[in-house]
Homo-oligomer: A and B are copies of this chain.
């Protein structure tokens, strides 16, 4: 084999190796930007669809990236329990995580030393993303209700919107796949880049936090890009067609970003943030696959081929709800059925092997962002849990809610500064 071609050259974006400059010089953050390979999808304000899947998404901004950002192809999501009881140690970890996230989203390794470090010390980075492109990696942190239980003096800062989710009809939640003091959502177009990021954050947090549960998602099920076709879920349908696009500044302000009265009092630190609901939804694909096509289409309220609502021709045609069966999924999930409730969906399909009964352990890892779950996910899921015809084929087996703080403004800012200051 040739010894010349040592560099992967699959595209225009700079490789991590190029970004950090292997000569040993420290990283100049923004190097990727100078290379012209930054995707315009960082701050969720008037951003354009992203074509270059190898590019870097800016980390700094008024909102965290990974919400309005055009949905990446792959997901690694992790919920953490905080093990330390020392508030200062937790704060230092959040600062360390922020610096690592800045570097990794720019396509660089964690830490200046990396492989130029001492052979006597463990490497600053685990190395498996070396040579890979930034791949539009975004890292989005959230704080769970249990973080506010008094251990860290945060009781007075628990927002009213950070409720305990009610038990919905049909819920069959596994505590081992639910909750968490912290979460990090890693999205990227290359799964190795997403896995690398979560693993390095877990490594940095060793002894202070422990992974409570995690979930890989192999395929996006939603679009936050205008005019794009909605990807299909594992039932073969397009769902969530009317999702909020990353460019719809007004809908984002109305339904997703916390501001004004929602960012007052205990929730003042949430100005510019959002609330994230994560649900692991097991789909009984084997049963579904034996269901007649007509029944499948009635259950969703769409045709399967095109994704058009009942009686309409195209996916994005306005649905006529009264033409649908009263228990159809689209009708029950529609804002008009739920007092206008609108959420930004960012879910991923998963397949985690088999369930011991010869069936695939597959489904939807549902992720939804909203400014207040009490007027977002809760009314929608109350409608669905009560009557959705789809309930015969699905089961919610994991659940978590997180307050997602605003973006990191600059290199002096850090994840959770307003909460802990």
Q: Which residues of A are interface residues toward B (Cβ below 8 A)?
A: 1-8, 22, 74, 76, 81, 115, 117-123, 125-131, 176, 190-192, 195, 199, 202-203, 206, 210-216, 218-219, 226-229, 231-237, 245, 285-286, 288-297, 304-306, 314-317, 349, 351-354, 356, 358-360, 362
In whole angstroms, what is the CA distance A352 to B211 when docked?
Answer: 13
CB contact between A1 and one of B245, B304, B349 (< 8 Å): that residue: B245
How far is A266 from B302 in the complex, measured between Cα atoms in Å?
54
Contact of A218 among B81, B115, B218, B288 (CB under 8 A): B218
Cross-chain contact B3 with A317 (CB below 8 angstroms): yes
Q: Which listed residue, B199, B229, B292, B358, touches A131 by the CB 8 Å rule? A: B229
From known contacts A212-B358, A304-B127, infer whether A227 and B1 are also in contact, taking CB-CB under 8 Å. yes
Beyond A127-B304, A226-B2, A354-B213, whether A219 also contacts B203 by CB under 8 A is: no
Known contacts A3-B314, A353-B213: A206-B286 contact under CB 8 Å: yes
Residue numbers in B under 8 Å from A216 (CB-CB): 216, 218, 351-353
Smallest CB separation, A236 vs chain B (Å)? 2
Q: How far is the CB of A285 from chain B (nearest CB, A)?
A: 6
B residues less than 8 Å from A356 (CB atoms): 176
Using A218-B191, A226-B2 as known contacts, say yes or no to A232 and B127 having CB atoms under 8 A apart.
yes
- B176/A304 in contact, CB under 8 A: no
Select which of B74, B206, B236, B290 is within 8 A of A127 by beta carbon: B236
Docked Cα-Cα span, A238 to B37, in Å, equals 27
How far, in whole Å, are A213 and B352 apart by their CA atoms in the complex?
A: 10
- Copies of this chain held together in the complex: 2
Q: How far is the CB of A255 from chain B (nearest CB, A)?
A: 16
Contact (Cβ within 8 A) A6 B218: no
Cross-chain contact of A289 among B122, B229, B237 (Cβ < 8 A): B122
Q: A128-B234, A203-B289 are in contact. Are A354 and B212 (CB under 8 A)?
A: yes
CB pair A7 B226 closer than 8 Å: no
A123–B377 Cα distance when bound, in Å, is 32
Q: How far is A360 from B199 in the complex, measured between Cα atoms in Å?
A: 8
In the complex, A329→B296 CA distance in Å?
A: 53
Residues of chain B lying within 8 A (CB to CB) of residue A229: 5-8, 131
Check A304 against B227 for contact (C-beta < 8 Å): no
Can you list 25 contacts pairing A with B, beta carbon distance less than 8 Å? Answer: A1-B316, A6-B314, A117-B293, A119-B292, A119-B293, A120-B294, A122-B293, A126-B235, A126-B236, A127-B236, A130-B236, A130-B305, A176-B356, A190-B219, A191-B191, A191-B218, A191-B219, A202-B286, A203-B289, A210-B358, A211-B359, A214-B351, A214-B360, A216-B216, A352-B353
Asked if residues B203 and A218 are in contact (CB atoms below 8 Å), the reply is no
- Residue numbers in B under 8 Å from A191 (CB-CB): 74, 191, 218-219
| A131 lies within 8 A of B232 (CB) | yes
Give A79 to B231 CA distance when docked, in angstroms.
28
Question: Could you tell me the distance between the alpha carbons of A2 and B226 in the complex, rounded to whole angstroms?
Answer: 8
Q: Is there contact, CB below 8 Å, between A354 and B192?
A: no
Closest to A215 in B: B353
Q: Kindly provide the distance from the CB of A176 to the nearest chain B CB, expressed in whole angstroms.
A: 7
B290 and A360 form a contact (CB under 8 A): no
When chains A and B are docked, how far (Å) is the Cα of A218 from the Cα of B217? 10
Knowing A6-B229, A358-B210 touch, does A290 contact B351 (C-beta < 8 A)? no
Query: Complex: how many Å from CA A212 to CA B351?
Result: 15
| Closest B residue by C-beta to A131 | B229
The contact of A123 among B214, B236, B349, by CB within 8 Å, is B236
List of B residues within 8 angstroms of A228 by Cβ: 5, 8
